[in-house]
Structure 1
Amino acid sequence: MPQVTEEAAKRAEEIKNEANEHFKKQQYERAIELYTAAIELDDNTAIYYGNRSLAYLRTECFGYALEDASKALELDKSYVKGYYRRASAYMSLGKFKLALKDYETVSKTRPNDRDARLKFQECQKVVKMIMFQKAIAVEENTKTVAQSIDLRSMVIEDDYEGPGLEEGMVTENFMLELMEHYKAQKKLHRHHAYKILLDIKKQLMKLATLVDVPIPDGTKFTVCGDIHGQFYDLMNIFKLNGLPSTTNPYLFNGDFVDRGSFSVECIFVLFGFKLLYPDHFFMSRGNHESVTMNQMYGFQGEVKAKYTAQMADLFTEVYNWLPLAHCLNSRVLVMHGGLFSTDDVTLDDIRKTERNRQPPETGIMCELLWSDPMPGKGRAPSKRGVGIQFGSDITWNFLEKNNLEYIIRSHEVKSEGYEVTHGGNCITVFSAPNYCDTMGNKGAFITMTGGDLKPKFTTYEAVPHPPVKPMAYANSILSLFS
């Protein structure tokens, strides 16, 4: 290792301290820039990598966080926070056994460290729970959750005053009442909730993995990005842009749930509109429509709190049937994450992709849900640790190969709610303003008309919501790893 001069080491320490101040103010991107500057001056100090790892965790760059934590431990095996950071990254990526291994290491080397012992024990519980769930799933794989639901046993009490399905069907009046019911922080009766889930599963099972969406000339079409359980902001979208209808079609591009604490309300409204307008309301799967994400980031806990564990399992079955992408007029491809690790992927390859499963760690389905664009050209390992990063040439080649004009994706917070990159070929739209009540970003949605498909962006600020904090239902173990 090259020697660091005393002057460089002193300046690096000053920059690190400045970065720490930005971190305290939740200015994570600036903190990352400064930690990087400190590392450029002195790349032999574990704490610089450890601090940057934590900042990457805050910005959900779990792949980079993992890399930095590992580098910190390479420099100093006794750097305990390095194990904590790496465990957090592993936990965020659903790699619970690897997280457990890090805490076991700390517990053995520091047997009197109560904090490490507590985290090891909690992580161990998660691993045992997952192993137990897998064992049960193998035993019960002959019968789906949907098949085990008995709606007749779910009697609607006489004193229930909420919205009701009309002859078992979602109607426009039901949807209007449901939204008002939710605004008043009331719950939909379990009978109606289960019926919606059973019906939406049947509907989604009939769809293709890649759905072709025709938009007639002159017809308006709206694409929304991540909602993340921010129900009151979802209502604001409909206030600004009109309710979904046969003349006002929408596509919601994944991550309907998690983090925000009104995810149940969001998903039932969206599923309700999908049932009401099956040919004019579209939903793509996001990376958060998965078991691991729902276990960690709140949706599973919220469903259990508002309904039952059985319903949480039913949601998992339903999410497995969500389409992975939509193609608008054979000219614009919309997916939650992004493009692929190879140059040969075609629309037909997406159509042939088996989607009725949990997202794998590699391949087309994984990359549709997890990948991100990057400046420059080529490909790079994902900052998230899953999927890839792809440059402008990758986007251009994909469009050229598949005779497309541009792609729309979501998956990333943007300060203005949207971002146009790769020479206009790649558009990101994110529809959850002031994400997690902390990010200060605007939300956005895209409108276009069927003829030219030229994107128009509408941005908006967050609206007030009841005093329930984001992540209120998240797995309690997350707080241990922050």
Structure 2
Amino acid sequence: MTEEAGESQAIELKEKANAKFKEQRYEEAVQLYSEAIEAEPSAILYGNRSFAYLKLECSGYALRDATEAILLDRKYVKGYYRRAQAYMSLGKFKFALRDFEAVTNACPNDQDAKKRYLECKKIVQRIAFENAIRVDDVKKSVADALDLDSMSIDDDYDGPCLDEKGITAEFMEQLIDKLSKCGKLHRKYAYQILLEAKAIFEKCPTLVDIEVPDGQKFTICGDIHGQFYDLLNIFKLNGMPSESNPYLFNGDFVDRGSFSVECILVLFGFKLLYPNHFYMSRGNHESHTMNRMYGFDGEVRSKYTEHMAQLFTEVFCCIPLAHVINKKIFVTHGGLFSEDDVTLEDIRNTDRFREPPENGIMCDLLWSDPMSMRGRSPSKRGVGVQFGPDVTEKFLQKNNLEYVVRSHEVKLQGYEVVHGGKCITVFSAPNYCDQMGNKGAFINITGGDLTPKYTVYEAVPHPNIRPMAYASSLVNI
């Protein structure tokens, strides 16, 4: 192909890719941008593909493409812009600040770029301040400063109340009704739920064993991401949680969706009501870095207090990382490991009472994804690893398991089965962020059978508050 023909083909493919991007069909856009790059690589094409990868939450690939764009054209400002956003998505704020500074230097009159630079600088400074004042005694808890007895209930409060009986089924019915009508639980009771949830999670092992009796239904749900009204729809379709209708929610309860507070209070409430029949796995978004960027931290501060946001961080660090059902089904939010020979005992012995590290067993459990190729490859997210069918098979054989259930990824039909049926993804947030057009799903199994059965559903309406309403503008470029 001549140089002129390659350039012409690249332009045509770019235009098609741009159209797919505008239609929010990001995977198709990535494919077309890739074909255009193969025909005639350019900084613009790499920059555009970087943006599409960001939309697909593939921050690692987005970072790679933005860097390639900059290498091809050091003056390509959007390359720095895209790379800054990729760094922000990964919580690498100092690197993001460097790129935002490059944008402001190149475009000194760009007020939007200046605003983002200053916001990023503020985050870096705040992190430095937090590190400077951090108390050496890591056992000191935010909860220690709480005095629930001193919190009075306003005379005009008409929501559900907690008394000496604690959480009851009646309280949960009243809570769901109040929250579904855009009401708010009094902060005293919200704090009480958090403190009791922290206490119960602290007693849980890192890897929880679940026994489902023969003939009993058990439900596994994937990411909820603050989509409260879709969460209520799950209960409508599948029945309210109870001792005879147990659930496992597999991480990413919060962030992005703007009803994350409502989601987490209801989920924690059911955990307290049915501690041996309602289970929760930690996701990668149950972390301070993610919450700071993707909305939960801002939502809690808006609806309650900064102090409560700090307490949520503590509670999240107590949530178990994985479950095994009937000694045969391994359930975790992200996936498998960057090294062979990891055992269930290794997971049980993993210290989870912390923010997620950037490597190791805990990181992989929260961040990894399956791929079709054998072996392993660097993560498309920039954290964790991508693992092939042989990795899944080795892990299952070594630990005498039948299959893996994980979440963490949007799937068009709400679920996906790969690796010869040995690795299942379930994602329970339909029309993710009000733009992906995907369905949601949950899995039912029955004790004594364990064959997964899938229920797929569409999104339901919600009040007119857009997703990411509380998120940092730095991830909304």
TM-score w.r.t. length of structure 2: 0.98
2:432 is equivalent to residue 432 of structure 1? no
2:31 is equivalent to residue 33 of structure 1? yes
Is the 2:253–2:263 contact (alpha carbons within 8 Å) kept by the matching residues of 1? Answer: yes
Secondary structure of 2:424's counterpart equals strand
Is the 1:214–1:328 contact (alpha carbons within 8 Å) kept by the matching residues of 2? Answer: yes
Secondary structure of 2:15's counterpart equals helix
2:249 is equivalent to residue 252 of structure 1? yes
2:390 is equivalent to residue 386 of structure 1? no
The match for 2:12 is 14
Residues 1:476 and 1:47: Cα distance change in structure 2 (over 3 Å)? closer
Distance of 2:381 and 2:2 partners within structure 1: 31
Distance of 2:58 and 2:243 partners within structure 1: 39
Is the 2:194–2:311 contact (alpha carbons within 8 Å) kept by the matching residues of 1? Answer: yes
Q: What is the deviation of 1:226?
A: 0.4
Distance of 2:88 and 2:384 partners within structure 1: 17
Is the 2:254–2:263 contact (alpha carbons within 8 Å) kept by the matching residues of 1? Answer: yes
Distance of 2:410 and 2:244 partners within structure 1: 29
Equivalent of 2:224 in 213, 227, 239: 227
Distance of 2:270 and 2:416 partners within structure 1: 28
The match for 2:192 is 195
- Opposite residue 200 of structure 1, the aligned amino acid is A
- Opposite residue 234 of structure 2, the aligned amino acid is I
Is the 2:116–2:473 contact (alpha carbons within 8 Å) kept by the matching residues of 1? Answer: no
Distance of 1:142 and 1:33 partners within structure 2: 49
The match for 1:179 is 176
The match for 2:213 is 216
Distance of 2:434 and 2:106 partners within structure 1: 39
Is the 1:226–1:411 contact (alpha carbons within 8 Å) kept by the matching residues of 2? Answer: yes
Distance of 2:268 and 2:219 partners within structure 1: 17
- Opposite residue 40 of structure 1, the aligned amino acid is E
- Opposite residue 33 of structure 1, the aligned amino acid is Q
Q: What is the deviation of 1:139?
A: 6.7
Equivalent of 1:103 in 85, 88, 100: 100
- Opposite residue 275 of structure 2, the aligned amino acid is P
Residues 1:304 and 1:140: Cα distance change in structure 2 (over 3 Å)? farther
The match for 1:299 is 296
Equivalent of 2:475 in 473, 478, 481: 478
Secondary structure of 1:138's counterpart equals coil
Q: What is the deviation of 1:109?
A: 4.6
Is the 1:434–1:462 contact (alpha carbons within 8 Å) kept by the matching residues of 2? Answer: yes
2:285 is equivalent to residue 281 of structure 1? no
* Unaligned stretches of 5+ residues in structure 2: none
Instruction: Answer with 468-477 or 65-74: which moved more.
Output: 468-477
Distance of 2:347 and 2:136 partners within structure 1: 32
Distance of 2:469 and 2:420 partners within structure 1: 40
Distance of 1:414 and 1:115 partners within structure 2: 34
Instruction: Answer with 95-104 or 116-125: which moved more.
Output: 116-125
Distance of 2:138 and 2:319 partners within structure 1: 20
Q: What is the deviation of 1:79?
A: 0.8
Distance of 1:143 and 1:346 partners within structure 2: 32
The match for 1:365 is 362
The match for 2:58 is 61
Secondary structure of 1:118's counterpart equals helix
- How does 1:294-373 map onto structure 2 within 5 Å? 294-373=291-370
Distance of 2:130 and 2:309 partners within structure 1: 13
Residues 1:40 and 1:108: Cα distance change in structure 2 (over 3 Å)? same
Q: What is the deviation of 1:295?
A: 0.6
Equivalent of 2:463 in 445, 461, 466: 466
Is the 2:226–2:260 contact (alpha carbons within 8 Å) kept by the matching residues of 1? Answer: yes
Q: What is the deviation of 1:73?
A: 0.8
- Opposite residue 394 of structure 1, the aligned amino acid is V
Equivalent of 1:5 in 3, 6, 12: 3
Distance of 1:16 and 1:270 partners within structure 2: 44
Secondary structure of 2:226's counterpart equals coil
Is the 1:222–1:251 contact (alpha carbons within 8 Å) kept by the matching residues of 2? Answer: yes
CA RMSD of superposed structures (Å):
1.4
Distance of 1:388 and 1:142 partners within structure 2: 31
The match for 1:241 is 238
* Unaligned stretches of 5+ residues in structure 1: none
Instruction: Answer with 176-185 or 131-140: which moved more.
Output: 131-140
Q: What is the deviation of 1:168?
A: 5.2
2:386 is equivalent to residue 398 of structure 1? no
What do residues 382-420 of structure 1 show as CA deviations (whole Å, max 9, x unaligned)? Answer: 111110111111101110111100000000011110000
- How does 1:47-126 map onto structure 2 within 5 Å? 47-126=44-123
Q: What is the deviation of 1:125?
A: 1.1
Is the 1:4–1:41 contact (alpha carbons within 8 Å) kept by the matching residues of 2? Answer: no
2:115 is equivalent to residue 127 of structure 1? no
What do residues 206-260 of structure 1 show as CA deviations (whole Å, max 9, x unaligned)? Answer: 0000000011111110000000111111111011111111111000000001111
Q: What is the deviation of 1:112?
A: 4.7
What do residues 87-122 of structure 1 show as CA deviations (whole Å, max 9, x unaligned)? Answer: 000001100000111122333455455443333222
Aligned length: 477
Is the 1:53–1:65 contact (alpha carbons within 8 Å) kept by the matching residues of 2? Answer: yes
Is the 1:107–1:116 contact (alpha carbons within 8 Å) kept by the matching residues of 2? Answer: yes
What do residues 120-169 of structure 1 show as CA deviations (whole Å, max 9, x unaligned)? Answer: 22211111112122223337856311111110111112322111113151
Distance of 1:190 and 1:109 partners within structure 2: 47
- Opposite residue 475 of structure 1, the aligned amino acid is S
Distance of 1:60 and 1:423 partners within structure 2: 25
What do residues 431-453 of structure 1 show as CA deviations (whole Å, max 9, x unaligned)? Answer: 01111111111110000011021
Is the 1:4–1:42 contact (alpha carbons within 8 Å) kept by the matching residues of 2? Answer: no
The match for 2:407 is 410
- Opposite residue 36 of structure 2, the aligned amino acid is A
Distance of 1:179 and 1:121 partners within structure 2: 40
Secondary structure of 2:218's counterpart equals strand
